[in-house]
Structure 1
Amino acid sequence: MKAHLAFRDVPDHLHDDGSAHRDGETFGPATSGLTRDLLDFEAMRLAFLINRKMILGIMAGGLLVGVASAVFMPRIFTARASIQIDQQARKVLGTEDSEPLANGSEADRMLQTQVDILNSRAMARRVSDALGLAASDTFLEQSTGRAPSGLTPGERVDRVIDTLQRNLDVDLPHNSRVVGVMYKSRDAALSAKVANTFVAEFIKGNIQRKFSASSYSLEFLGNQLSVAKRRLEESERTLITYSRTASLIDTSAGMAGKTGIAQGPQSLVTANLVELNDRSAEAKANRLQAEERWHQASGTPLMQLPEVLSNNAVQQLLQQRAEQAAKLQELRAHLKADHPSVVQATTQLNELDNEARTIAESIRGSIKNQYMVAARQDGAMQSAVNGLKSATLSEQDRGVRYNILKREVDTNRQLYDSLLQRYKEVSAAAGVTVNNISQIDVAEAPRKPTSPRVLINIGLSIILAAGAAVLAVILRSRLFDTINDPRDVERRLALPLLGVVPMDLGGSPLTTLLSPKSDIAEAYHAIRTSIELSSSVGLPKSLLLTSSSPSEGKSTSSYALARDFALQGKRVLLVDADLRRPTLHRIVDVDPGVNGFSSVLARKVGFQDAVVPTLIENLSFLASGPVPPDPANLFSGTSLREFLAEVGGSFDLLVLDAPPVLSIADAMELTAEASATVFVLQTGGVRVKAAQQSVMRLRRAGGNIIGAIVSKYDTKMAGYDYAYSYRYGY
């Protein structure tokens, strides 16, 4: 049977840490097998199979913990109430104070502030006092399942408050003003009772804070109002006292009532001066008007004055004169001038002219008299105003102080009026208990417990157990970093895999080897084929088998390969090169004390005298011989090289069973002279670091390592993977 893996050339160099590189490619610890195996499902399957007992134990323990938690954990009941928190309360009177509406982060901060108040220790103390929870140990017993002992009253209060805070859960959902208030307890009725009490005390506390603020404002305004009233009274008394002392009479109210316009503060003298001044201005205007009319009348012909022309009597006389003048004109046309009728008409016409002129003169005289009266009145008024001016100027000096006192009175009155108005508003709003927090849902005693959740607890236990199992596998792989997967030989040791020898469940691999169809026999057939194909020059003359430590299967592999090559017709010499702890003599059934390999190297006998035939055709055996005092000296000379050269002419293949690499230095001497070296590893029996150090030491000694054999591999554990299964089922 041909090997299932093609062999690559041996890496050019092996580093001190066990990593190897070839043509720019790095192998070994530089690329951790565990890291690469994270996505290697085959490696994960193998890791599970290797650690299946531990994993199943951890998973079973996790399942038991989950079931135990569901069975033995106390039943917890959660009651839920809900409240709505608005930024502003509805106004009743319309005069209540209100803060501006907040937006964005300010609104969220306001809601979070209310949640913090609910979670505060002061709120828990209010609930404790309202329900009387700290009066006895009943509440603590209901909450914890056992009654505390030896608690002082102060300690009991602290314990109750801590329990309330610990079991309270306030839920503030996103984009909502409805806040959930939940309380957990072992008693369903107690949970609902405490949750509702938290809501009630929270609303009551909010109202009390607002009422306290209103009471403080009312008290503050009352004090300020008393101070303002006292200041107003004092300023009014001071103003009245000064006005009496200075003989100042304020007539501003009377003037305002007359004119309808608010006047400044005026005394009696000032009021008279103002009134006389107004009359003087009126008299002066009348004089100027009368004077203008007189000047016009005196410069205008008498009968052309407007007042004369507009007089009714004058108009009648002028009409009569016109009629008489027409009549006279008619008489003169027929009669002579001295005719009595003409003379009479002329006399009547002259009389009409005289009457009209008389009336016109009286009208002009009336205009002159009006002018004279207006001039006298103007003079009298101006004289009276001039007399009051000096008295007014003297009074103004005293009015400066009066005005200062008057302004102080007005300021104090305005302050008093505004405080009085605000006091009335606050007094009216103080009794209004509209709140911005309202209860939406009332907590009811829950019918089902919220904890423990059986399925969730079991699921979480299984998940945690699975995580612990994975962690345990990783830690175990780190602490016990052994070769468990045959593929690790190439990935971590940078060695070609010659083959895998399955574990013999019967306990006697040599007996199983006699069956040609057994897994072990098939495995060594494949390894023998791999060795033949390992080099283009064919089968090596000498083949050395070694391992990191004892009991890894190198002696069994040496015998099995020598036997297999012999059965193929090759002349094979099997040499027990372990001069310290030989084991092949038991397999071949030869006395170890006879002349053997040590005797040949010591040149006591020739190898022909020491070699003994075996029951297998073409297979000869050279025992280790007597144990020398210093085996290393036998390998360090030229006797080993001479022995190999001499034996090479008599046998087709020399198989050397060498001692372990890490125990002594004999293996390095042997690998330097052997044509090829095979490294044997026991599955799970050698750490990767030790194997890497062994390979490194063999390479430094000049050994030609053609590959590695993985022994004692549990094929059942691996699931009979096609790459490593040697059972063909013929």
Structure 2
Amino acid sequence: MAEGRGSGEMMQAGPSLRDQGSDAFGEPVEREVELDLAKYWAMLMKHRLLIAGSVLAAVVIGLVITLLTPPTYTAAATVQIDREATRVLDSEETGAADLRFSMEFFQTQYGLIRSRSLAERVIDSLGLAGSDAFIEQMGGEFEAREGETAAQQMARRREMVIDLIADGLDVSSQRDSRLVEITFSSPSAAVSARMANAIAENYIQSNLDRKFDASLYVREFLEERIAETKAKLEATERQLVQYADDQQIIRLEDSTNAGTGAQRSLAANSLSTINEALSQARVDRISAEERWRQARGASLMSIPEVIASPAIQAMVAQRVAVEAEYQQKSSVLQADYPEMVELQNRIDELDSQIRSLAVSIRDGIRAQYEIALNQERALQSRVNGLSTDVLDLSDRSVEYNILLRELDTSRQLYDGLLQRYKEVGVTGGVTANNVSLIDRAIAPKTPSSPKLPLNLALAFVLGLGLGVVAAFLIEALDDSITTPGDVEEKLGLPGLGNIPLLAKDEDAISALRDVRSPFSEAYYSLRTALQFTTSHGAPKSLLLTSARPGEGKSTTAFATALNLSRTGKRVLLVDGDLRNPSMHRVLEMDNSQGMSNFLSGSAELQGVVRKTPFATLDFIPCGPLPPNPAELWSGDRLQVLLDQALAIYDHVVIDGPPVLGFADAPLLSSSVEGTLFVLESRGTGRRQALGALRRLSFARGHVLGAVLTKFQANKTRNEGYDYSYDYDYGAKSSSEVKGRKS
């Protein structure tokens, strides 16, 4: 026996995420969203015919297009593009090396191959502008227009050929290499090979032409610049010479920087020379002054110059000899002896000469000091005079220096331009090229397109993708409540039961009498689920309502009351739909008196209760239809009914009216212990159900859960869900009569 699931949905394992959803009343709540792969697979199985049809249609269309597409032949010529051309001379230009070592260089080359100028060069080299054969071979057709001149027709033909070449041309590089494939596609294999080779050859030649044109342009540019610089250099030299002559500025080459071209003025050179002499004179004066200071304060014979004088030393030696002779003879002769007197006179004479020579040496030291002092003063005076001249010359040399710097700059620029012109003249004839042809294109044997297997595979993938997208879109736009899982997912309510759809030849009463039927078993499962909705079991007072009429609400109310009574409980079934009652027709009872009489106060409970064929189940019909049912329900008689009935019965089950458009159901829901929400499978929309639940919530009604009626398990199983109602004792599925008023 298949019991109803308490949650009403299949739980599939999978990774969970946090997501913002909504509860049964549309309020945003955060909940876990499970990545349910089985659910997605079931959805795909549900729309498998749509997906299969999309795949089949795409494959058929792909096959037709492939068979109708004319074959295209592709030929490829391979060229090598070096990042830098072979350097023949050291002076060759390498300024673009940084660019060539980047991908920008190769992208530039690809752009040159696809350029309009190269296409025009190919057209001119092959004479394609006037060739109708080439246009026809490329699958085009040229039609002359009335009133066009020959020149206009030729221009339009040329534009057509350029467009055909651009459409057929493609450029691609081989990975991790400098080899580039130039491919051309056309309906003719011979044309493809001829055009690929022509494009490669013209690209190589155009690269050489650009180099030659660039060299020629540089030479012409340098010639103009050299002429301008030379004229400016000559004018600056004349202006400099004229200014130097006017200001009497004489410049000499600086000997300290010989060979560098540095110049100094005559006054500056003289000042430098005299200043060096002054420095030396100052040194000499200081030395002479020091010698004179020492000689002036010392005794004559202690002066170092006197002691070092050879004449003084000779006279001192001579005196020592005479003194020695005098002393030797003094022991024999008297002092007044003529020979002794003569020796004494010679000694005195030598002393006088020595002193006189020492004085002369000291005077010479003083004379040297005075000469050095005078010389220093004279040089200092000359330096002072030249300094004034140099400062004055500096004031007059400001403009001269400006002209001189301008002359030096012009001379350097002229020399550089002249040297560069010579280098360009030498390298201009060098024809080294960084592009070379590696493999010529040959006519292909087989067409490159269309490729039937590839096209069919792409069509299959495209059709599958479109079918899956369509399936997801249909599911996203499907707002109906179809499966028990939708009850929990779309409404946030627990699913208390799933009631199968009866066959057209069966009615609800007969199906409920057969306790083994899937229909009866489903309501048994609903009764079991109700046992767990409150702490004391099934609610004492229970309202059954739906969003709209015709969802099986009345049948569910009767079945719920019947199954509760089968447990031995006393149950009162109340037809609370005072607008469109149907329960009295289901039970085939009189409707002359009922709830409308009790609510209006014209009858009591015992007067409106009817016995049913079921022992513990009593019934209160609707009674006469009142003009305003909402006013009756809003009175206090409803609570009186519930109090009196629950004093006699264990359960009161009210078959209420639909929620949308009426105030009856919210009033009833606020008075009973629990409300059971009835939904028709594939009939009730999510927004419609949420609107009804929101109204019940505003009335403070306690919605226990939802029951899904008219559920077609066989269709759901085909769609990938498994809600089985097959039983071991072979009960067959039955169906509730469609169109019957619940």
Shift of 1:128: 2.7
Equivalent of 1:658 in 656, 659, 680: 656
Show CA shifts across 1:519-563 (max 9, x none): 322211111111123222133222211112222222221122223
Show CA shifts across 1:444-488 (max 9, x none): 233333333333333333433444344434443443333334234
Equivalent of 2:71 in 66, 70, 75: 75
Match of 2:109, as an amino acid?
Answer: Q
Shift of 1:493: 3.1
Match of 1:540, as an amino acid?
Answer: P
Q: For 1:536 and 1:219, how far apart are their aligned partners in 2?
A: 106
Shift of 1:104: 7.7
* Residue aligning to 1:728: 727
For the pair shown, the structure with the greater C-alpha radius of gyration is: 1
Question: Does the Cα contact within 8 Å between 1:27 and 1:491 map onto a contact in 2?
Answer: no
* Residue aligning to 1:351: none
Show CA shifts across 1:24-82 (max 9, x none): xx99653589xx25x11233234334444444443443334433443344433322211
Residues 1:120 and 2:120 are matched in the alignment: no
* Residue aligning to 2:544: 545
Equivalent of 1:487 in 468, 485, 488: 485
* Residue aligning to 1:299: none
Question: Does the Cα contact within 8 Å between 2:21 and 2:30 map onto a contact in 1?
Answer: no
Match of 1:557, as an amino acid?
Answer: T
Q: 1:220 to 1:468 in 2, by over 3 A?
A: closer
SS at the partner of 1:670? helix
| Map 1:620-635 → 2, pairs under 5 A | 620-635=618-633
TM-score (norm. length: structure 1): 0.63
* Residue aligning to 2:163: 162
Match of 2:536, as an amino acid?
Answer: V
Q: 1:130 to 1:580 in 2, by over 3 A?
A: farther
Q: For 2:530 and 2:671, how far apart are their aligned partners in 1?
A: 18
Question: Does the Cα contact within 8 Å between 2:172 and 2:181 map onto a contact in 1?
Answer: yes
Shift of 1:636: 0.9
Residues 1:85 and 2:84 are matched in the alignment: no
Question: Does the Cα contact within 8 Å between 1:518 and 1:727 map onto a contact in 2?
Answer: no
Listed as ranges, the gaps of 5+ residues in structure 2 are 9-19, 146-151, 230-411, 730-742
SS at the partner of 2:716? coil
* Residue aligning to 1:43: 39
Q: For 1:688 and 1:702, how far apart are their aligned partners in 2?
A: 21
Q: For 2:425 and 2:485, how far apart are their aligned partners in 1?
A: 95
Q: Which moved more, 1:452-461 or 1:529-538?
A: 452-461
Show CA shifts across 1:111-138 (max 9, x none): 3322211011111222233334343555
Shift of 1:568: 3.5
Q: 1:561 to 1:454 in 2, by over 3 A?
A: farther
Shift of 1:181: 0.8
* Residue aligning to 1:377: none
Q: For 1:641 and 1:415, how far apart are their aligned partners in 2?
A: 114
Shift of 1:415: 12
* Residue aligning to 1:476: 474
SS at the partner of 2:713? coil
* Residue aligning to 2:519: 520
Listed as ranges, the gaps of 5+ residues in structure 1 are 8-16, 229-410
SS at the partner of 1:447? coil
TM-score (norm. length: structure 2): 0.62
Q: For 2:424 and 2:644, how far apart are their aligned partners in 1?
A: 128
Show CA shifts across 1:625-666 (max 9, x none): 332211111111112222222333443332212111122111
Match of 1:45, as an amino acid?
Answer: W
Over aligned residue pairs, what C-alpha RMSD do you find?
A: 4.1
Question: Does the Cα contact within 8 Å between 2:717 and 2:723 map onto a contact in 1?
Answer: no
Q: 1:104 to 1:639 in 2, by over 3 A?
A: same
Question: Does the Cα contact within 8 Å between 1:576 and 1:582 map onto a contact in 2?
Answer: yes
Question: Does the Cα contact within 8 Å between 2:84 and 2:97 map onto a contact in 1?
Answer: no
Match of 1:628, as an amino acid?
Answer: P
Shift of 1:174: 4.4
Q: For 2:228 and 2:692, how far apart are their aligned partners in 1?
A: 103
Match of 2:124, as an amino acid?
Answer: D
Match of 1:683, as an amino acid?
Answer: S
Q: 1:465 to 1:663 in 2, by over 3 A?
A: farther
Shift of 1:208: 2.5
* Residue aligning to 1:405: none
Q: 1:492 to 1:214 in 2, by over 3 A?
A: closer
Show CA shifts across 1:398-417 (max 9, x none): xxxxxxxxxxxxx9xx9999
Equivalent of 1:637 in 635, 638, 644: 635
Q: Which moved more, 1:631-640 or 1:136-145?
A: 136-145
Question: Does the Cα contact within 8 Å between 1:528 and 1:565 map onto a contact in 2?
Answer: yes
Q: 1:101 to 1:583 in 2, by over 3 A?
A: same
* Residue aligning to 1:312: none
Question: Does the Cα contact within 8 Å between 2:138 and 2:186 map onto a contact in 1?
Answer: yes
Equivalent of 1:647 in 636, 645, 648: 645
SS at the partner of 1:707? strand
Show CA shifts across 1:688-725 (max 9, x none): 33323322321331222222112233323433889843
SS at the partner of 1:718? helix
Q: For 2:7 and 2:103, how far apart are their aligned partners in 1?
A: 70
* Residue aligning to 2:101: 106
Shift of 1:182: 1.4
Q: For 2:542 and 2:225, how far apart are their aligned partners in 1?
A: 115
Q: 1:152 to 1:489 in 2, by over 3 A?
A: same
Q: For 1:416 and 1:482, how far apart are their aligned partners in 2?
A: 87
Q: For 1:420 and 1:614, how far apart are their aligned partners in 2?
A: 123
Aligned residues: 527
Shift of 1:674: 1.8
| Map 1:452-463 → 2, pairs under 5 A | 452-463=450-461
Residues 1:129 and 2:124 are matched in the alignment: yes
Match of 1:496, as an amino acid?
Answer: P
Show CA shifts across 1:137-169 (max 9, x none): 554554456666759443332233233223322
Question: Does the Cα contact within 8 Å between 1:611 and 1:620 map onto a contact in 2?
Answer: yes
Question: Does the Cα contact within 8 Å between 2:7 and 2:488 map onto a contact in 1?
Answer: no
* Residue aligning to 1:187: 188
Shift of 1:89: 4.6
Query: Percent identity, aligned pairs only?
Result: 36
| Map 1:559-638 → 2, pairs under 5 A | 559-590=558-589, 594-638=592-636
Equivalent of 1:688 in 686, 689, 704: 686
Q: 1:477 to 1:199 in 2, by over 3 A?
A: same
Match of 2:191, as an amino acid?
Answer: L
* Residue aligning to 1:369: none
* Residue aligning to 1:332: none
